[in-house]
C-alpha cells in the first residue's frame, strides 16, 4: 500500500460560509453538503444552516442549490449518505443548540434529496425509526441507509443499528443496544461500506454529570449480519491512543482513510475555547481486510470538525477549523476556507 498525496484547493463559484460538521454524500462527480453550524467561541454564537451545496470535483466549484419541497430545518451533526441506485441523497438526525448548551434540540427525521428534481422530501419522521440522534454514523449499502449509535435528546448514548429500505421507504431495527460495545456518538466513519462491512472509530459518551468521555477502539459493523464488534487490534497495528476525534473518513478500494481531527494528547485550552484543542493534519489508513491501521507519511492542514466523501479514488475534506493558542495567547479558531484533496491513486 502506497501513501496518498494531500493537496489543498480554493474552490470557486458560490460562497460556502465557514462551518463545522455538515452532512456529506457523493453522487457522480459531485459531493453534496447540507447544513452544519458556525459555532464561534469568542462570539459565543451558534448559527446552524440548512443550505445545500454541491461541490463539483471536476472543476473545483461550489454551487448553492436552493431546493424546493420539504426543506429540513437548520442543523449540525447530521449524517449523510447517497443512494447510488436511485441517485438520491439522504440526511438523518443532527441537532441545533446554543452556546452554553442550555438548549439542545435533537432531530430524528430522515430526509431525501433528489438532484434530478432539486427537491427535498421527508422520507420518514422521527416516530418510525431510531428516533432523535446527534452525530450518528450513516452508511449506504444494498439499497438501504444504515444508522448506528448517536446521542438522543435526553443525552443517552446508543449502540443500536437500524436499516432504512430505500425501495420500500421503511425502517427496521437490525441490532439492539450492546452493553459490550457501549453507546457512543461522534465516532469517525465513512458513508459507504466495503463488502457489506462498515467501520467506526472512537467517539464519545456522555456521563450522568453531562461530561464527555472519549471512547477508543475500532468497531466493525457487519451490515448484512446486523452485528457490531469491537476489533482486537495489536498496539503496533492500531491508532495512536486508539482513536482520533472529530476527524473525517472515506473508504477507497478497501482502505478507510481517516484525516485530521483532535489528537487526544497535549490539548490546549484558552483563547475562547471551552474545551481542550489539538487539531491534527495526519492521515491514517485502515486496511479493511487485514484489520490493521498505519499512519501514513502524508500530512495536510491541521483541522477538526470536518467531513469527507470519496469520488473515485479521491477523498474530499470540507469545513472545520484549526486552533491557535500558545499559553493562552492566539487567534483561537481558524476557520477552513479550502478543500483538502487526498489522492489515493
Which whole number is the average pLDDT over 312-338? 95
What gap in Å lies between CA 43 and CA 189, rounded to an integer?
31
Tell me if 188 sits within 8 A of 239, measured CB to CB: no
What gap in Å lies between CA 195 and CA 187, rounded to an integer?
20
- Number of separate domains in the chain: 1
Q: Output 199 or 2, whichever has higher pLDDT.
A: 199
Tell me if 213 sits within 8 A of 204, measured CB to CB: yes
Alpha-carbon distance values, 218 to 192, 226, 272 (Å): 16, 17, 32
Which whole number is the average pLDDT over 37-58? 95
Which whole number is the average pLDDT over 179-203? 95
pLDDT of 222 above 90:
yes
Q: What is the pLDDT of residue 209?
A: 78
The two beta strands, 104-106 and 321-326, are unpaired
Q: Which residues pair with 98 in a beta bridge?
A: none
Tell me if 46 sits within 8 A of 100, measured CB to CB: no
Q: What is the pLDDT of residue 100?
A: 83
Please give the full DSSP string across 121-168, using - where no structure is assigned.
Answer: EEEE-TTSSS---BS-EEEE-SSEEEEEEEE-TT--EEEEEEEEETTT
Q: What is the pLDDT of residue 274?
A: 83
Over the stretch 114-148, which tens digit does the pLDDT of each residue have?
Answer: 999 999 999 999 999 999 999 999 999 999 999 99
The DSSP call for residue 213 is: E
Over the stretch 263-277, which tens digit does the pLDDT of each residue have?
Answer: 988 898 899 898 889
Percent of the chain with pLDDT over 90: 88
Any idea what the CATH number is for the domain that residue 178 is in? Answer: 2.120.10.80
What's the pLDDT band for 211 if we cut at 50, 70, 90? confident
Percent of the chain with pLDDT over 70: 100
Average pLDDT, the chain: 95
Tell me if 322 sits within 8 A of 303, measured CB to CB: yes
pLDDT of 206 above 90:
no
Which whole number is the average pLDDT over 304-322? 98
Which whole number is the average pLDDT over 311-327? 96
Which whole number is the average pLDDT over 169-190? 95
Domain enclosing residue 65, as ranges: 5-343
Q: What is the pLDDT of residue 1?
A: 58
Enter the pTM of the model: 0.97
DSSP H helical ranges for the chain: none
Which whole number is the average pLDDT over 246-260? 97
Q: Output 75 or 102, whichever has higher pLDDT.
A: 75
Q: Output 255 or 101, whichever has higher pLDDT.
A: 255
Amino acid at each position: 500500500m502506497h501513501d496518498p498525496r494531500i493537496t489543498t484547493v480554493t474552490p470557486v463559484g458560490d460562497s460556502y460560509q465557514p462551518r463545522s460538521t455538515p452532512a456529506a454524500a457523493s453522487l457522480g462527480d459531485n459531493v453534496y453538503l447540507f447544513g452544519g453550524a458556525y459555532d464561534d467561541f469568542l462570539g459565543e454564537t451558534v448559527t446552524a444552516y440548512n443550505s445545500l451545496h454541491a461541490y463539483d470535483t471536476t472543476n473545483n466549484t461550489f454551487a448553492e442549490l436552493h431546493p424546493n419541497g420539504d426543506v429540513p430545518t437548520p442543523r449540525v451533526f447530521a449524517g449523510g449518505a447517497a443512494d447510488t441506485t436511485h441517485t438520491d441523497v439522504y440526511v438523518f438526525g443532527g441537532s441545533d443548540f446554543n452556546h452554553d448548551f442550555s438548549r439542545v434540540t435533537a432531530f430524528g427525521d430522515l430526509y431525501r434529496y433528489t438532484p434530478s428534481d432539486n427537491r427535498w422530501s421527508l422520507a420518514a419522521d422521527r416516530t418510525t425509526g431510531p428516533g432523535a440522534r446527534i452525530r450518528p454514523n450513516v452508511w449506504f449499502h444494498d439499497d438501504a441507509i444504515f444508522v448506528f449509535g448517536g446521542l438522543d435528546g435526553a443525552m443517552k448514548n446508543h449502540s443500536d443499528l437500524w436499516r432504512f429500505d430505500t425501495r420500500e421507504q421503511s425502517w427496521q431495527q437490525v441490532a439492539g443496544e450492546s452493553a459490550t460495545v457501549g453507546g457512543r456518538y461522534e465516532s469517525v466513519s465513512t458513508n459507504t461500506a466495503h463488502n457489506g462491512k462498515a467501520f467506526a472509530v472512537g467517539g464519545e459518551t456522555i456521563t450522568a454529570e453531562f461530561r464527555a468521555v472519549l471512547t477508543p477502539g475500532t468497531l466493525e459493523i457487519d451490515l448484512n449480519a446486523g452485528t457490531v464488534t469491537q476489533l482486537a487490534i495489536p498496539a503496533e497495528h492500531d491508532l495512536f491512543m486508539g482513536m482520533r476525534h472529530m476527524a473525517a473518513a472515506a473508504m477507497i478500494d478497501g482502505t478507510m482513510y481517516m484525516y485530521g481531527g483532535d489528537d487526544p494528547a497535549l490539548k490546549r485550552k484558552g483563547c475562547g475555547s471551552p474545551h481542550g484543542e489539538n487539531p491534527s493534519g495526519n492521515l491514517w489508513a485502515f486496511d479493511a481486510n487485514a484489520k490493521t491501521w498505519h499512519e501514513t507519511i502524508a500530512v495536510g492542514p491541521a483541522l477538526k470538525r470536518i467531513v469527507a466523501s470519496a469520488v473515485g479514488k479521491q477523498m474530499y475534506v470540507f469545513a472545520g477549523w484549526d486552533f491557535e493558542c500558545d499559553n493562552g495567547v492566539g487567534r483561537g479558531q481558524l476557520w477552513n476556507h479550502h478543500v483538502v484533496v487526498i489522492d489515493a491513486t
